[in-house]
Amino acid sequence: MPIVIQKDLPAFDVLTKENIFVMPTNRAATQDIRPLDIAIVNLMPTKIETETQLLRLLGNTPLQVNVTLINTASYKSRHTSESHMSKFYKSFADIKNRTFDGMIVTGAPVETMAFEDVDYWHELTEIMDYARKNVTTTLYICWGAQAALYHFYGIDKIPLPKKKFGIFPTVALKPTEMLTKGLSDVFFVPHSRHTVINEKEVYKNTELTVLAKSDEAGITLIKSNDNRNIFVTGHVEYDRDTLKTEYFRDLNKGLKIESPKNYFADGKCDKVNMSWTSTATILFSNWLNYYVYQATPYDIESINQGE
């Protein structure tokens, strides 16, 4: 089944060329089906690239998905045109009276800042509180995961001595959990961050379950025990060249940065070993199937309003 997006969204042509089944909104309106409604709160500066990455994964399942892109009104994007934002994005004020089957909150390049110092922190906490009551399940990615763990459970982040950068082998601690079904004994996850969550506080919290961990990158996958919140500390959605772009961007800025670990094939910077594709596909498919599709009511308005 397709993912339903506007035909003039840049991701539409990209995904069509990749044989991802996308459907324009006008055609979807004639379908006699109740699609899943997924909201994406895109906090990344590279919004068009992030849209494409996430839509690719959402479109690679047998479920029909309607997508609503959301931006924060309290912060104006400096890296994406105003015309793109006004045409394809809605503000929280536009959607706060709606309900969604699922929501994705992306990472953001603000992890070295205190949460409260982020320009849109107050608005983001409103969105997270809203999601807890009006969304069946929310997937928080990288800094988004750190922000939600801090807001809901008081779990802070800890600065790393150097950037955690590369592709890291990861093991499912509970392989029979719905979210990790189908993953290999050792699977790979991209990470690109300067901080780590306080793992002691995660393990102490009886409302959370750690699902996967990497010896090098730390806790990678967490869920709340009510299945309403999923936290991924890495970036399984990244494209083949995303870390390569970040690496050369930082080098060109004169920043001290090591080559991303386990990423370049044979140590050559022109060839990438993309080892995380199946990880991303399985995680997103499992999330959509088990935590969204099988958990959400047919009448979306009847999503439990209580916490």
Q: Which residues are catalytic?
A: 142, 235, 237
What is the distance between the terminal CA atoms of the chain, rounded to a whole angstrom?
32
Residue 90's contacts (CB-CB under 8 Å, 6 or more residues apart) are 68, 69, 70, 71
Spatial distance between the Cα atoms of 306 and 132, rounded to a whole number of angstroms: 8
